[in-house]
Structure 1
Amino acid sequence: MDEMTVLAAALVLICIYLGFSRRRMKKEIYGFTSRLERCLDAIALGKEMEETLEEGDTLWGKVYERLKRLDQIWHKKNAENLKEKKKIKELISDISHQTKTPIANIKLYVELLQEEGNQQEAARFLKKISAQTEKLDFLLKSMVKMSRLETGVIEIHCKRQPLLKTLGRAVSSIVPKAEQKQIRLSMDCDSRITVLHDSKWTEEALFNILDNAVKYTGRGGSIQISVTVQEIFTKISIKDTGKGIVLERQAEIFTRFYREPEVSDQEGIGVGLFLARNIMTLQNGYIEVRSEPGAGADFRLYLPNR
């Protein structure tokens, strides 16, 4: 066989090999693009990506790993968005539900006022309108505080500072209400105790607990406030001689707009304890309650020492 024949045969074999290689490469490219399209479609539709058996060191294996990470990030973001939408929906629903009563009452009293000729009755209706307006104003302010805390618009800024000053301001704010019911207030807090906390928001949480204690403690009762430095936390105990809380409701009292059935005639909308718990959580602290029906309640607020 001469050289020309060998060369011709080699060229034919090369052409055949290139043809097969080209066909195989074309098939692989089509398969790659097809799998890529299916994965991208699954990510876009929020569905699970198809599993692959290929190792990570192949081209598709490397691309698949990147797509898998992208898919996980997408699912996480989507879940967060749904959670946020649910929060907003619940908040709007709560606002709508809670504002209906005072608005309806204001409208009713205005109508009665317009029809009333008696000055004494007119003054009574004006007083009721004023009370409902104040309730509505308090509700909306509480809503703003809740939404800002939950969405992170307002940030907690903790710094080490004396706890007595923060506690003192909260107690001072509640004194007028306590005096009206002749409730005795006592406070035991060492002036040397310093804790990492946001003074403004901690005062808000303490006031809400104290306001709750005054509200549900009978005339002539007492409220004891004490501070104890423990190994990990500093405990603020607010103990009253009120009606107490049954065990099965002690978790519910910290939910938004919860009010116990027996005290529906008392003023309030049920956001104080909810706000207090959120404020403590944002400071890496927590609240617990110890109570028995008829034996008062002991709300314990814990702030971390470090």
Structure 2
Amino acid sequence: MSLKQPFIRILAVLSVCVLVGAALGLTASMVMARQEYRATAELIGAAYNMAPSSEDTFMRALKAASTEHYASGDRILQQYNYSPGTFRSKNTYTMVGVGMLLMFIPGAAAYVLWFYRDKKRRSRLQGLTAYLEGINHGRDTLLMRREDEFSRLEDELYKTVTELRQTKENAIRERKSLADNLADISHQLKTPITSMSLMTELLSDTRMGEDAKYVDNLSRQLRRLETLVSSLLKLSRLDAGTLELKREPVNVYAMFLRAAEPLEDTLRQKHLQLVMASEEEVFFTGDLAWTAEALMNLIKNCSEHTPEGGRITLVYSQNPLYTEIIVEDTGEGFRKEELPHLFKRFYKGKNASKDSVGIGLAIAQSIIRQQNGSIRADNAPGGGARFTVKFYF
């Protein structure tokens, strides 16, 4: 906005004030003149009715009246108990009514002008807000350009949205390219890993003593490498947004069973008891397979930190806002300094197992968040670790 525009606005406001003031003054002058004429006519008419022969005297007195006659006239009026209040009471309602009418007209005009401008301004702001909301929800919303007081804001919004959209598209392309590269690398690694796994199986049948121990260690490291490659592939697909998660009703108890099935041997070896609540059928909207994958990582984490003979509990509940799933164990729980880092990739706590790669909780968090959910880790009141998952409607 140039410096000339505010000056023009101030000049316009002053001009309107002068015109309105002049109109009000002229109108007030006409009203006062009318009232004065009416009072003079009533006084002369009453005197004429009392003394018709004195008409000429009254008219000469009216023409000769001036400020120097005020003192004698005031003395006579006060002698007969007349005061300014006597005359004011006769004109009060009339003048109040006229004053209200005079102020109502410009007031109403100002209100109509303000209402129109406010409505136009609110409509403009609603349009800009709707544009931003559409962009935030991924809709291709058009911005209707116009020249007004919001034009500069509109231009800046358009530039910002355009730049953010381009940045987002570039980031998506880069993430997809990274995911594709990781997928290619993962597939390339799977072939030699599979070959080495087969060879270690063959060697384990022919080796004895110290050699068998080395072969067993090699097999364990190959399994760990295979798990890491598979986890990285999953995480890269989640990061790139190329993983299409289903949106369908998921039975929580059925998802519990699916998540626990791959861990049956691990739980049995440590004599861990898995307790799953099944009081009622509860559903949420999501992807059964991938949510079971996330929950399996939580159960696996609990199993690694729960001593033999311990217990892992899965419970769930539902309210009008979300479906809640709680996973608890009877282990030592989390250290206070570990809580802020638990869902970071490749983070391993002090009590983590040697074979852990520190990526399972990161995968679980990514899967849950992409389904309009949240996950939180803390320590249960009775001791042990606790994961709280919420899927919002």
- Per the normalisation by structure 2, the TM-score is 0.50
Read off the aligned partner of 2:376 and give its amino acid letter: E
Match of 1:45 in 2: none
Read off the aligned partner of 1:152 and give its amino acid letter: G
Alignment of 1:121-270 (within 5 A): 121-263=210-352, 265-270=353-358
User: Which secondary structure state, in structure 2, belongs to the residue aligned with residue 247 of structure 1?
Assistant: coil
Match of 2:390 in 1: 302
Alignment of 1:15-164 (within 5 A): 69=158, 72-74=161-163, 76-78=165-167, 81=170, 85=174, 119-164=208-253
1:280 counterpart = 2:353: no
Determine if contact 1:245/1:293 at 8 Å carries over to the other structure: no
Rounded Cα–Cα distance in structure 1 between residues aligned with 2:157 and 2:280: 56
CA drift at 1:167:
1.1
Q: Which has the higher contact order (CA 8 A, sep 6+)?
A: 1
Rounded Cα–Cα distance in structure 2 between residues aligned with 1:174 and 1:228: 24
Read off the aligned partner of 1:181 and give its amino acid letter: K
Determine if contact 1:247/1:291 at 8 Å carries over to the other structure: no
Rounded Cα–Cα distance in structure 2 between residues aligned with 1:90 and 1:176: 32
Read off the aligned partner of 1:208 and give its amino acid letter: N
- Cα gap change, 1:74/1:170 in structure 2, threshold over 3 Å: closer, same or farther? same
Determine if contact 1:205/1:279 at 8 Å carries over to the other structure: yes
CA deviation vs aligned residue, 1:66-85 (integer Å, no higher than 9, x gap): 79835752354236636875
Rounded Cα–Cα distance in structure 2 between residues aligned with 1:222 and 1:212: 13
Read off the aligned partner of 1:302 and give its amino acid letter: K
Rounded Cα–Cα distance in structure 1 between residues aligned with 2:365 and 2:302: 15
Match of 1:5 in 2: none
Read off the aligned partner of 1:179 and give its amino acid letter: R
Rounded Cα–Cα distance in structure 2 between residues aligned with 1:90 and 1:202: 21
Rounded Cα–Cα distance in structure 2 between residues aligned with 1:121 and 1:128: 11
User: Which secondary structure state, in structure 1, belongs to the residue aligned with residue 255 of structure 2?
Assistant: helix
Rounded Cα–Cα distance in structure 2 between residues aligned with 1:245 and 1:178: 20
| More helix per residue | 2
Determine if contact 1:228/1:235 at 8 Å carries over to the other structure: yes
Rounded Cα–Cα distance in structure 2 between residues aligned with 1:87 and 1:294: 44
Read off the aligned partner of 1:127 and give its amino acid letter: D
Rounded Cα–Cα distance in structure 2 between residues aligned with 1:68 and 1:218: 57
Root-mean-square deviation over aligned CA pairs: 3.7
User: Which secondary structure state, in structure 2, belongs to the residue aligned with residue 178 of structure 1?
Assistant: helix
Rounded Cα–Cα distance in structure 2 between residues aligned with 1:249 and 1:293: 17
Rounded Cα–Cα distance in structure 1 between residues aligned with 2:156 and 2:314: 57
CA deviation vs aligned residue, 1:105-162 (integer Å, no higher than 9, x gap): xx9xx9xxxxxxx842222211111111111110000000001111111111121132
Read off the aligned partner of 1:300 and give its amino acid letter: T
Determine if contact 2:297/2:361 at 8 Å carries over to the other structure: yes
- Cα gap change, 1:162/1:78 in structure 2, threshold over 3 Å: closer, same or farther? closer
Rounded Cα–Cα distance in structure 2 between residues aligned with 1:291 and 1:273: 16
CA deviation vs aligned residue, 1:162-191 (integer Å, no higher than 9, x gap): 221111111222222111111111111235
Rounded Cα–Cα distance in structure 2 between residues aligned with 1:259 and 1:188: 30
CA drift at 1:246:
2.2
Q: Which one has a bigger Cα radius of gyration? A: 2
Read off the aligned partner of 1:242 and give its amino acid letter: G
- Cα gap change, 1:293/1:138 in structure 2, threshold over 3 Å: closer, same or farther? farther
Rounded Cα–Cα distance in structure 2 between residues aligned with 1:297 and 1:120: 40
Rounded Cα–Cα distance in structure 1 between residues aligned with 2:362 and 2:210: 38
Match of 2:35 in 1: none
- Per the normalisation by structure 1, the TM-score is 0.64
- Cα gap change, 1:149/1:121 in structure 2, threshold over 3 Å: closer, same or farther? same
Read off the aligned partner of 2:343 and give its amino acid letter: F
Determine if contact 1:209/1:273 at 8 Å carries over to the other structure: yes
CA drift at 1:267:
2.0
Rounded Cα–Cα distance in structure 1 between residues aligned with 2:354 and 2:252: 31
Structure 2: which 5+ residue stretches go unaligned? 1-145, 186-191, 200-206
CA drift at 1:275:
0.7
- Cα gap change, 1:75/1:204 in structure 2, threshold over 3 Å: closer, same or farther? closer
Read off the aligned partner of 2:378 and give its amino acid letter: R
User: Which secondary structure state, in structure 2, belongs to the residue aligned with residue 195 of structure 1?
Assistant: strand
Displacement over 6 Å in runs of 4+: 65-68, 86-93
Q: Give the aligned length.
A: 227
Determine if contact 1:244/1:293 at 8 Å carries over to the other structure: no
Kindly, what percent of the aligned residue pairs are identical? Answer: 27
Structure 1: which 5+ residue stretches go unaligned? 1-55, 97-102, 111-117
